[in-house]
Structure 1
Amino acid sequence: MAMPDPVQEPLRDVIARHGLDARKALGQHFLLDPGITARIAALAGDLTGRHVVEVGPGPGGLTRSLLATPATSVTAVEIDRRAVAVIEELVAHFPDRLRLVEADATRRDLTELCPAPRQIVANLPYNVGTPLLVGWLRQAASWERLTLMFQMEVGERICAAPDTDHYGRLAVLAQWTCQASLVMRIPPGAFSPPPKVYSAVVSLIPHATQPEPALFRAMEQVTAAAFGQRRKMLRGSLRAIGGEALLGEAGIAGERRAETLSIAEFDRLARCHAARTT
């Protein structure tokens, strides 16, 4: 019997044929609407000449939409053996543009998979989205843009402004290194199985100047301390890494709380902390 066309076969049929039921342990929620996946691919901008990495392609809906763009190449990183079999069928159809890497994206340096200019476009597994993002922010200079789908709450945390409920460590790290925008909201019914919450696509465009690794580590330490006890005044929450002395060097009042600080003020704290620890 002839194999179905890997580009035209309905994704529900692909899922049924490969026994690709979404697994909670892998944080899987599959997007089946080609109109939505095409919109996500379009949010990455003009992909002409770009090399795109997709993490967690699942049944390949977003992969198909990325292959419909002018991207020079698409590299799909997948850990689920059932989904690997699906993407292998697409690779056979697009041998010159699609590459499959069977790997755990949390343990792999994705910059090694393709040359620049490179982007990441992905519907991230819910259970590893945040650690993946922080890892990519550490190497933001290597990426032209990240177009990523998260649970709505995570998307709001990434893009939150100071002195708002969602503002925290993730907002500081993301906005310190990138221009962050929440560019699309997607209802639960667009997924199989439907999650309990809305999802959000976030666009992250790295700033032209990026912190050195030592400064990024200092920012991670400062934000972890500051937001780890966010109800405390900064003189208390930062005590373990310098407290009053660090705040004095940065010109920030000790009675303030972490959520009131701007990105620029966190930058000053991180630079002062880095200078004290190197």
Structure 2
Amino acid sequence: MSNKHGHQARKRFGQNFLHDPGVIEKIVRSINPKPDETIVEIGPGLGALTEEILAVNPRLQVVELDRDLIPVLRTKFFNYPEFEIHEADALKFDFASLVQNGKPLRIIGNLPYNISTPLIFHLLEQAGVVKDMHFMLQKEVVQRLAAVAGDNHYGRLGIMAQYFCKVQPLFEVGPGAFRPAPKVDSAIVRLVPHETLPYPAKDLGTLQAVVRTAFNARRKTLRKALAGMVSVEQLQSLGINDGLRPENLSLAEFVQIADLVFDSKPAEQSGQEVSDD
């Protein structure tokens, strides 16, 4: 479906353009942009949100993959000489390179549903240079980000997001706010990186591996799900019931298990990356 700019929303980019002025205003109020901040928008689309942020912060930077949108944005915002467009894939983009004068980034975006999870993992890797993130996501993804132990939506995404950030679901947005209307409800979430990690792991790669392994067998008991990594005796030594399922364990308990695994394996196997595979 095209719009007044003649741009066809593309399925392969997962594009749904925001057009509801009331929703846009509510998002901007939630972000509360200031003129002197370094704000980065991912996937500006046709610039509905961009326009409102630029009015406050004329040095806004955007990351856009769809090269057909770039001339539309350049034309629409030609009177903002400091507005900068990075034609790039946000999944591979080095957001740390945008930090200026040591000011942490404020990252915003209506994230395409087909890349939202890997993109959040990519941004969590760079949480050290981020002040906060405000995203429009599928409602279910926001539920997964905010879920706590015992919830249906609890899993790797929520655990790793909460390892790095405080997660605050803000409000829901119906399909009618977009063109074309998606088949799902959306929601706005705020992610604020912790100044001090509440449960720092000795080795991030080990924590990732433990959480990934556990949730690959989420219906099994911990005894079975983590059989190759940790023994029943080791779990019991931490005071963790090996008959529980992965979804019953808190972030703190996963960190305890990961630290134990890390301490009992050869040093050269450790890794520090956050990955989503």
- Greater displacement, 194-203 / 28-37: 28-37
Q: Report how far residue 156 of structure 1 moved.
A: 0.5
Q: Is the 8 A contact 1:91 1:99 kept in 2?
A: no
Q: Is the 8 A contact 2:201 2:258 kept in 1?
A: no
Give the 3-state SS of the residue equivalent to 2:159 in structure 1. helix
Q: Is the 8 A contact 1:163 1:259 kept in 2?
A: yes
Matched, 1:173 2:160: yes
Letter in 2 for 1:21: Q
Q: Deviations over 1:224-266 (max 9, x none)?
A: 1111111101011112222435524543121111111112112
State the partner residue of 1:92.
78
State the partner residue of 1:270.
258
Equivalent-residue separation in structure 2 for 1:23 and 1:222 (angstroms)? 37
Letter in 2 for 1:58: G
| Aligned residue-pair number | 263
Letter in 2 for 1:151: Q
Equivalent-residue separation in structure 2 for 1:226 and 1:269 (angstroms)? 11
State the partner residue of 1:81.
67
- Which of 224, 227, 244 is the aligned partner of 2:232? 244
- Give the superposed CA RMSD: 2.1
Q: Deviations over 1:51-103 (max 9, x none)?
A: 1111111100011121133x36311100111211122124422112x110001
Q: Report how far residue 217 of structure 1 moved.
A: 1.7
State the partner residue of 1:67.
54
Q: Deviations over 1:193-215 (max 9, x none)?
A: 00011001110111112488972
After superposition, residues 152-231 of structure 1 pair within 5 angstroms as 152-210=139-197, 215-231=203-219
Matched, 1:135 2:122: yes
Q: Is the 8 A contact 1:51 1:72 kept in 2?
A: no
- Which of 129, 147, 150 is the aligned partner of 2:134? 147
Identity value in percent:
37
TM-score normalised per structure 1: 0.88
Structure 2 vs 1, CA of residues 188 and 142 (structure 1 numbering), >3 Å: closer, same or farther? same
Equivalent-residue separation in structure 1 for 2:107 and 2:4 (angstroms)? 28
Structure with higher helix content: 1
Q: Is the 8 A contact 1:234 1:254 kept in 2?
A: yes
Letter in 1 for 2:72: V
TM-score normalised per structure 2: 0.88
Structure 2 vs 1, CA of residues 94 and 46 (structure 1 numbering), >3 Å: closer, same or farther? closer
Q: Report how far residue 46 of structure 1 moved.
A: 4.7
Give the 3-state SS of the residue equivalent to 1:180 in structure 2. strand
Q: Is the 8 A contact 2:131 2:193 kept in 1?
A: yes
**Unmatched tracts of structure 1, length 5 or more:** 1-11
Letter in 2 for 1:276: S
